[in-house]
């Protein structure tokens, strides 16, 4: 089982969009895939037309009085299941705070799924919180959408540094440029610069495309309703970058090392 | 995907009725759901159901299918769940009962010895049951599964309707329906299943559909068995019962001819030989009641002709026995190496090929055809004459008691005369008498009370096994001696091979001695006071001709 989490401290950068499309591609590849919508706003649940409601709420799941298994809903797609969002997730920090080893609670809850899942996607709300720290400990790979701005580069460096200080299990980071607009000069320059200077940045960029915005109207992954679109191709390329990642995180190092040789993703 | 809920069959015997029922189902479902076709196209599949000629897997409650490069074995308990699962290509919660094994280059239309299956979980589960038989295609079913998604008000798929349309040998089978649950929406699937169940022209599916498939082929499961299982009753006139038994034996004999000619597996010849031996015993023990047509000259002719047929099959069968036991024989060598015997195996295989050609010529000959045709005509006359001559007082039950009693007394008499110094032939003779007794018991098995029958046959079988071991080892020793001579005559034989054959003979000889030592005890168990009492219990009701 490999756990992926889409994460960025910032809102509206394309986390949910990425999680939804990548999860669908994983299932299409034959992986038994589960997407957990951790955002109380339930954007991912909405995309899959699943009601944002979990019996017993977040409390039952975090406390373990209900298993995650119980909360799982099948999506319309073979091999892709979902744990819906719930309004009570907005108190998730409090719930986690009450647990033993509060930063590793999610990792523990996910462990039993290893027998029935090949890929888990966690879609996080934007914040720095106990939830996001839990997600970082649970994830094998953090997928970080970056809007091409100078500020987001700093955010990425901070995140890399933060994760590098973890003891033991340390997630890999794969950032990608999200909503890049080729018509904007700044975007073009940032894209160029980031993908050459930061080894944790994927060579794949997800451009800003109106077909992606249509997902919330279609209520389906773009890889479903427009499988041959540029958008779907871009997500497929991102997914193959993710699959190509080595399973083990590289040894701790400074934030965002320089790229060396041919290798594009490895620090 | 999740387990299918409830299988349904569409009633009616032709496409228009099925279409009406399907229209009905869909409109009923539309009252509760939005229905849309699944995004992916319907899936076509060819499944070939495999079994041995004598239905060993079916009788053991197993279903073996070949589907797209894979063997799938389903156990009895979950046969329907498993076939629903294989119809949709889905792994279900019940899928655990399904054993799967990938096979490459398998052509399901070709018979293939169970023995020759590559190692794997399916082979492990069936090899002891199926060996030494071949797996044959029983039926090939082409099916298409069409999936309809059932949506709720959010446009979310909450259940699926699976429609399986299948055909076998060009004939369409009634569609089957099932509802597949979407995880987390069990109530919706139940609701859909209730709606389907209430639609007109739909009924719960019985079984897993294989009965219909065989029906379309004009067959029924278990339609071949090497058991006598003649349809006789206690009150049937004796002559008619005898004719019915013999007709059944003739059917079995003929059913095996094609398999022998195609050399599919060794059991065809074995069953054919048993039918011939049973026929010869029946002629001897019951021939007199067949009416005027058999006793006298015609009877002698059939006696001679069936002896010819039996003798025709002997050389091939003897070689089969050697070859079937070869592995065990080689493994049992203490001094010689198994590889030393390989030239012997090759020699046996060459001989067998030659003998089999002679056998095939015989089975394709006019002599064989005339024999079976005349014999059938004679038996049909005897059977129907039995009806006309109702005046004949003797019933099947009376005949059974009389002939079984006689055969038993002969066994007791001959066996009692055997002492430690009796010649081997006396045991061989007794074996023949035991076979006759066994056959006459089997001919009339439907008239006997099963528990009493089981006890008598059990004791008899143990005695027969002992006598069989004694004689078979004797015959094999003689044969190996003769074969060694023949091999030498043909050319150079490695000394190691001859030595290994000698060791094999020594092993057989010690088994033969052990069988002889066991004889007395086995005979006493069967023919002593206890055995005699069991036999009289068995024959009592028949002899009294109840009702
Ligand atoms: N590549 C893109 N091109 C055009 N629109 C996009 C693209 N990616 C995302 N969007 C749109 O941007 C909005 C925010 O995207 P999304 O919900 O994926 O971001 P998020 O990071 O999950 O947001 P939040 O932090 O609120 O959870 C959505 O309306 C989405 O349709
Ligand atoms: Mg989001």
Mean local confidence (pLDDT), B165-190: 91
What is the model's pTM? 0.70
Residue B205 and residue B230 in one domain = no
Which helix or strand (DSSP H or E) is residue B250 part of?
Answer: helix B238-255
pLDDT tens digit string along A235-245? Answer: 999 999 999 98
Determine which residue's CA is closest to atom 13 belonging to ligand 1.
Answer: A12
> What is the distance between the terminal CA atoms of chain A, rounded to a whole angstrom?
23
Please tell me the distance from the alpha carbon of residue A66 to that of residue A58, in angstroms, as a whole number: 10
Residue pointed to by tokens 């239905």: B55
* Residue B532 φ then ψ, to 5°: -65, -35
Answer yes or no: are the C-beta atoms of B321 and B273 closer than 8 Å: no
Q: Which residue has the tokens 């400990």?
A: A137
Angle between helix B266-286 and helix B238-255 axes, rounded to 10 deg: 160
pLDDT value of residue B388: 55
What is the average pLDDT across A185-203? 80
CA distance A82 to chain B (A): 10
In this prediction, residue A249 carries a pLDDT of 55
The residue of chain B nearest to residue A219, with distances taken between CA atoms, is B155
Question: CA-nearest residue of chain B to A84?
Answer: B184
Whole-number Å distance between alpha carbons of B459 and B523: 9
> What is the Cα–Cα distance from B15 to B17, expressed in whole angstroms?
5
Q: Which domain holds residue B174?
A: 8-216
Range scoring the smallest mean pLDDT among A67-76, A121-130, B34-43: B34-43
Taking the centre of ligand 2 as the mean of its atom positions, its distance from the CA of residue A159, in whole angstroms, is: 18
Per cent of chain B over pLDDT 90 is 62
Q: Does B183 touch chain A (CB under 8 A)?
A: yes
> What's the average model confidence in pLDDT over A7-11?
92
Percent of chain A predicted with pLDDT > 90: 72
- What's the CA gap between B29 and B179, in Å, rounded? 11
State the pLDDT confidence band at A203, using cuts at 50, 70 and 90: confident
Cβ atoms < 10 Å from Cβ of A204: 20
Q: Cβ(A56)–Cβ(B159) under 8 Å?
A: no
Q: Quick one: pLDDT band at residue A184, thresholds 50, 70, 90?
A: confident
- In the structure, what pLDDT confidence band is assigned to residue B96 with cuts at 50, 70 and 90? very low
Read off the pLDDT of each residue in A180-193 and give the average, rounded to a whole number. Answer: 82
**Can you tell me the mean pLDDT for A226-233?**
97
| Residue B346 located in a structural domain | no
> Does the pLDDT at position B88 exceed 60?
no
**Count of positions (residues) in chain B:** 547
Residues 6+ apart with CB under 8 A from B340: B333, B494, B496, B497, B499, B500
Q: Is A147 left (phi over 0), alpha (psi -120 to 50) or beta?
A: beta
Residues B36 and B168 occupy one common structural domain: yes
How many C-beta atoms surround the C-beta of residue B345 within 10 A?
A: 17
Which chain B residues touch A51 with a CB distance below 8 Å? 154
**Residues B363 and B477 grouped into a single domain:** no
- Do B299 and B403 lie in a common domain? no
pLDDT classification of A56: cutoffs 50, 70, 90: very high
Based on the fold, state whether residues B177 and B260 are members of the same structural domain: no
How far apart CA A32 and CA A1 sit, in angstroms, is 9
* Nearest in space to B246 (alpha carbons), one of B195, B284, B210, B209: B284
Instruction: Estimate to the nearest angstrom the gap between the alpha carbon of A44 and the chain centroid.
Output: 11
Atom of ligand 1 nearest to the CA of A8: 21
- d(CA A52, CA B433) in angstroms, rounded, equals 82
Rounded mean pLDDT, B428-447: 95
Q: Which of B161, B185, B216 is the last residue of a domain?
A: B216
Rounded to whole angstroms, the Cα distance separating B15 from A109 reads 53
Q: Is the dihedral of CA A20, A26, A27, A32 positive or negative?
A: negative
CA B423 to chain centre: 37
Q: How confident is the model at residue B94 (pLDDT cuts 50, 70, 90)?
A: very low
Residues B155 and B230 in one domain: no
Interchain contact, A224 vs B1, CB within 8 Å = no
A5 ligand 1 Cβ < 6 A: no
Task: Give B353→chain A minimum CA distance, Å.
Answer: 50
Residues B456 and B533 in one domain: yes
Q: Which of B1, B155, B183 sits opposite A73 (nearest CB)?
A: B183
> What integer best gives the mean pLDDT of chain A?
89
Two structure tokens written together for B127 = 């090899």
Q: What is the mean pLDDT of chain B?
A: 88
Residue B325, domain member (yes or no)? no
Asked if B470 and B512 touch (Cβ cutoff 8 Å), the reply is yes
With residue B55 as reference, give the H or E element that holds it.
none
pLDDT for res B464? 95
| pLDDT tens column, B378-418 | 999 888 875 555 556 789 999 999 999 999 999 999 999 99
The pLDDT assigned to B345 comes to 92
Flag whether B442 is in a domain.
Answer: yes
Q: CA A193, A194, A198 angle in degrees (round to 5)? A: 125
CB within 8 Å: B157 and A73? no
User: Which ligand neighbours the alpha carbon of A178 most closely?
Assistant: 1
The confidence score (pLDDT) of residue B492 equals 78
- Mutate which of A11, A14, A43, A218 to test ligand 1's pocket (most atoms within 8 Å of Cβ)? A14
C-alpha dist (Å) from residue B199 to B10, B23, B25, B34, B209: 10, 10, 5, 17, 20
Instruction: Say how far apart CA B101 and CA B93 lie, in whole Å.
Output: 18
**Which residues does B444 contact at the CB level (< 8 Å), separation at least 6?**
B232, B241, B396, B399, B400, B404, B542
Q: Which two tokens stand for residue B257?
A: 């001819």
Q: Pick the residue from chain A with its C-alpha nearest to B90.
A: A78
Instruction: Sketch the domain layout of chain A as residue ranges.
Output: 2-244
Q: Are residues B154 and A74, on separate chains, in Cβ contact within 8 Å?
A: no
Give the distance (Å) from ligand 1 centre to CA of residue A83: 20
Confirm whether the ipTM is greater than 0.85. yes
Supply the angle between the helices B366-388 and B342-363 in degrees, to the nearest 10: 60
Query: Over the range B511-523, which residues count as b (16 or more CB within 10 Å of their CB) and which as e?
Result: bbeebbebbeebb
Are residues B23 and B68 part of one domain?
yes
Tokens of B405: 């009693």
Given a cut of 50, is residue A226 above it in pLDDT? yes
For β-strands A172-180 and A33-37, DSSP reports them as unpaired
Please give the tally of structural domains in chain B.
Answer: 3
The angle formed by the CA atoms of residues B59, B62 and B67, to the nearest 5 degrees, is 135
Task: Say if domain A2-244 classifies as CATH 3.10.25.10.
Answer: no
Does the pLDDT at position A206 exceed 50? Answer: yes
The reply to whether ligand 1 has any atom less than 6 angstroms from the CB of A11 is: yes
Would you say residue B206 has pLDDT above 80? Answer: no
Chain centre distance of CA B298: 33
* DSSP output for A190-221: HHHHHHHH-TTEEEEEEE--HHHHTHHHHTS-
Per-residue model confidence (pLDDT) at position B277: 96
β-pairing verdict for B34-37 and B134-151: antiparallel
Q: Are residues B410 and B371 part of one domain?
A: no
Q: Which of residues 5-64 of B touch A (CB under 8 A)?
A: 39
Residue B156 has pLDDT above 80, yes or no: yes
What's the rounded Cα separation, in Å, for the pair B415 and B143?
Answer: 61
pLDDT digits (tens, 9 = 90+) for B254-307: 999 999 999 999 999 999 999 999 999 999 999 888 877 666 777 889 999 999
SS3 of residue B322 by DSSP: helix
- Assess B187–A contact: CB distance below 8 Å, yes or no: no
- The answer to whether residue B1 neighbours chain A at the CB level (below 8 Å) is yes
Tell me which residue of B110, B134, B376, B71 sits closest to B249, measured CA to CA. B376
Residues B529, B531, B532, CA angle at the centre, nearest 5°?
65
Q: B142 near B59, Cβ under 8 Å? A: no
User: Is B157 in the A-facing interface, judged by CB distances under 8 Å?
Assistant: yes
In this structure, of B49-63, B64-78, B263-277, B308-322, the range with the lowest mean pLDDT score is: B64-78
CA distance B39 to chain A (A): 9
Domain membership flag for residue B425: yes
Q: Measured between alpha carbons, how far is B278 from B296 in angstroms, rounded to an integer? A: 20
Of A51, A73, A219, the CB nearest to B155: A219
Which ligand lies nearest the alpha carbon of A234? 1
B156 has a chain A CB within 8 A of its CB: yes
CB B66 within 8 A of CB B51: no
Q: Could you say which of A49, A72, A224 has the minimum Cβ distance to residue B155? A: A49
Mutation to probe ligand 1, out of A12, A121, A131 (largest number of atoms < 8 A from CB)? A12
pLDDT at B6: 63
Domain end residue (candidates: B173, B191, B216): B216
- Distance CA(B291)–CA(B386), nearest Å, equals 8
Residues B308 and B426 in one domain: no
Residue A197 near ligand 1, beta carbon < 6 Å: no
Q: Tell me if A76 and B157 make a contact (CB, 8 A cut-off).
A: yes
B305 CA distance to ligand 2 centroid (A)?
89
CB distance B42 to B111 below 8 Å: no
B441 and B304 in a common domain:
no
Whether omega before B132 lies within 30 degrees of 0, making that bond cis, reads yes
Task: Say what the pLDDT of residue B144 is.
Answer: 92
Q: Which ligand is nearest to the CA of A8?
A: 1
Query: Is A78 in Cβ contact with B156 (below 8 Å)?
Result: no
| Cβ contact A173:A256 at 8 Å | no
B34: Cα separation from own chain's centroid: 50
Chain A residues in contact with B39 by the CB 8 A cut-off are: 224
The pLDDT, as a whole number, for residue B546 is 44
CA angle, B532 then B534 then B538, to 5° = 115
Phi, psi (degrees; rounded to nearest 5) at A206: -100, 110
Q: Is the pLDDT of residue B529 over 70?
A: yes
Confidence of residue A253 (pLDDT cuts 50, 70, 90): very low
| Whether residue B542 has pLDDT greater than 70 | no
- DSSP single-letter state for residue A165: T
Closest ligand (CA of A7): 1
Binary contact (A49, B182; C-beta < 8 A)? no
- Whether the CB-CB separation of A24 and A221 falls below 8 Å is answered with yes
CA distance B529 to B412: 11
Residue that terminates a domain, selected from B377, B394, B411 = B394
In the reported structure, the alpha carbon of residue A211 is separated from the centroid of ligand 1 by a whole-number distance in angstroms of: 12
CB-based contact B335:B503 (threshold 8 Å): yes
Judged against a pLDDT cut of 90, whether residue B120 lies above it is answered with yes
Which residue, among B40, B90, B183, would best test binding to A if mutated, counting the most A CBs under 10 Å from its CB? Answer: B183
Do B295 and B442 lie in a common domain?
no
* Alpha helices, DSSP H, located in B263-365: 266-286, 297-324, 326-331, 342-363
Spatial distance between the Cα atoms of B364 and B261, rounded to a whole number of angstroms: 9
Give B182's contacts in chain A (Cβ within 8 Å): 73-74
- CATH assignment of the domain containing B488: 1.40.20.10
Flag if A51 and B184 touch (Cβ within 8 Å): no
Ligand at minimal distance from the CA of A12 is 1
Return d(Cα B375, Cα B309) in angstroms, integer. 13
3-state helix, strand, coil in chain B (%, to 5): 60, 15, 25
How much is the average pLDDT of A58-70? 92
Q: Is the pLDDT of residue B185 over 90?
A: yes
pLDDT at B543 over 50: no
């Amino acid at each position: 089982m490999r756990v992926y989490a889409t994460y960025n401290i910032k809102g509206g950068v394309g986390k949910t969009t990425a999680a939804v499309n990548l999860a669908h591609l994983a299932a299409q590849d034959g992986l038994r895939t589960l997407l957990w919508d951790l955002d109380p706003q339930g954007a991912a649940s909405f995309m899959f037309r699943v009601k944002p409601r979990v019996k017993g709420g977040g409390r039952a799941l975090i406390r373990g009085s209900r298993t995650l298994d119980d909360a799982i809903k099948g999506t319309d797609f073979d091999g892709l299941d979902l744990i819906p969002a719930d309004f009570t997730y907005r108190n998730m920090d409090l719930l986690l705070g009450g647990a033993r080893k509060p930063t590793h609670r999610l990792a523990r809850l996910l462990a039993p799924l290893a027998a029935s899942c090949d890929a888990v996607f966690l879609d996080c709300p934007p914040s720095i919180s106990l939830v996001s720290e839990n997600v970082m400990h649970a994830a094998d790979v953090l997928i970080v959408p970056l809007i091409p701005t100078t500020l987001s580069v700093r955010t990425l460096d901070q995140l890399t540094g933060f994760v590098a200080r973890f003891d033991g299990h340390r997630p890999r980071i794969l950032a990608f440029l999200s909503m890049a607009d080729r018509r904007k000069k700044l975007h073009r320059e940032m894209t160029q610069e980031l993908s050459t200077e930061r080894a944790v940045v994927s060579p794949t960029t997800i451009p800003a495309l109106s077909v992606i915005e249509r997902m919330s109207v279609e209520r389906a992954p773009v890889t479903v309703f427009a499988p041959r679109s540029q958008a779907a191709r871009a997500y497929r390329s991102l997914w193959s970058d993710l699959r190509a990642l080595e399973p083990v995180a590289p040894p701790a190092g400074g934030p965002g090392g320089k790229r060396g040789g041919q290798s594009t993703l490895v620090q | 995907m999740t387990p299918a809920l409830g299988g349904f069959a569409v009633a009616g015997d032709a496409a228009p009725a099925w279409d009406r029922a399907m229209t009905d189902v869909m409109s009923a479902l539309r009252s509760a759901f939005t229905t849309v076709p699944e995004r992916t196209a319907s899936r076509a599949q060819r499944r070939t159901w495999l079994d041995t000629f004598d239905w060993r897997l079916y009788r053991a409650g197993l279903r073996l299918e070949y589907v797209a490069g894979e063997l799938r074995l389903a156990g009895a308990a979950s046969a329907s769940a498993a076939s629903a699962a294989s119809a949709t290509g889905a792994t279900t919660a019940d899928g655990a009962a399904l054993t799967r094994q990938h096979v490459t280059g398998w052509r399901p239309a070709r018979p293939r010895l169970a023995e020759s299956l590559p190692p794997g979980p399916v082979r492990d589960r069936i090899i002891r049951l199926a060996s030494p038989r071949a797996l044959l295609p029983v039926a090939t079913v082409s099916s298409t599964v069409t999936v309809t998604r059932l949506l709720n008000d959010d446009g979310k798929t909450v259940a699926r309707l699976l429609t399986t349309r299948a055909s076998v040998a060009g004939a369409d089978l009634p569609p089957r329906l099932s509802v597949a649950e979407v995880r987390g929406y069990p109530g919706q699937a139940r609701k859909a299943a209730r709606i389907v169940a209430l639609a007109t022209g739909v009924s719960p599916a019985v079984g897993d559909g294989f009965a219909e498939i065989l029906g379309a082929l004009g067959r029924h499961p278990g339609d071949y068995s090497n058991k006598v299982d003649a349809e006789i009753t206690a009150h049937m006139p004796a002559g008619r019962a005898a004719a019915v038994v013999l007709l059944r034996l003739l059917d079995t004999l003929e059913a095996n001819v094609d398999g022998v000619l195609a050399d599919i597996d060794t059991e065809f010849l074995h069953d054919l030989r048993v039918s011939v031996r049973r026929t010869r015993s029946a002629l001897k023990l019951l021939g007199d009641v067949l009416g005027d047509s058999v006793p006298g000259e015609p009877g002698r002719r059939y006696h001679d002709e069936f002896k010819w047929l039996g003798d025709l099959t002997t050389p091939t069968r003897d070689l089969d026995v050697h070859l079937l036991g070869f592995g065990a024989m080689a493994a049992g060598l203490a001094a010689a190496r198994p590889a030393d015997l390989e030239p012997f195996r090759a020699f046996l295989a060459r001989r067998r090929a030659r003998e089999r050609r002679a056998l095939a010529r015989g089975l394709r000959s006019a002599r064989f055809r005339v024999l079976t045709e005349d014999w059938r005509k004679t038996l049909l006359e005897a059977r129907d004459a039995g009806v006309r001559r109702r005046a004949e007082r003797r019933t099947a039950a009376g005949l059974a008691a009389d002939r079984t009693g006689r055969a038993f007394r002969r066994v007791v008499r001959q066996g009692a005369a055997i002492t430690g110094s009796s010649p081997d032939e006396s045991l061989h003779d007794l074996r023949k008498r035991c076979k006759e007794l066994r056959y006459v018991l089997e001919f009339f098995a439907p008239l006997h009370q099963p528990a009493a029958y089981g006890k008598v046959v059990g004791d008899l079988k143990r005695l027969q096994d002992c006598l069989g071991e004694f004689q078979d080892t004797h015959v094999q020793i003689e044969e190996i001696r003769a074969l060694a001579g023949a091999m030498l005559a043909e050319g150079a034989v490695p000394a190691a091979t001859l030595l290994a054959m000698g060791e094999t003979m020594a092993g057989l000889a010690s088994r033969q001695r052990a069988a002889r030592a066991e004889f007395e005890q086995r005979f006493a168990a069967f023919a002593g006071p206890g055995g005699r009492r069991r036999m009289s219990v068995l024959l009592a009701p028949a002899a009294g001709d109840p009702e």
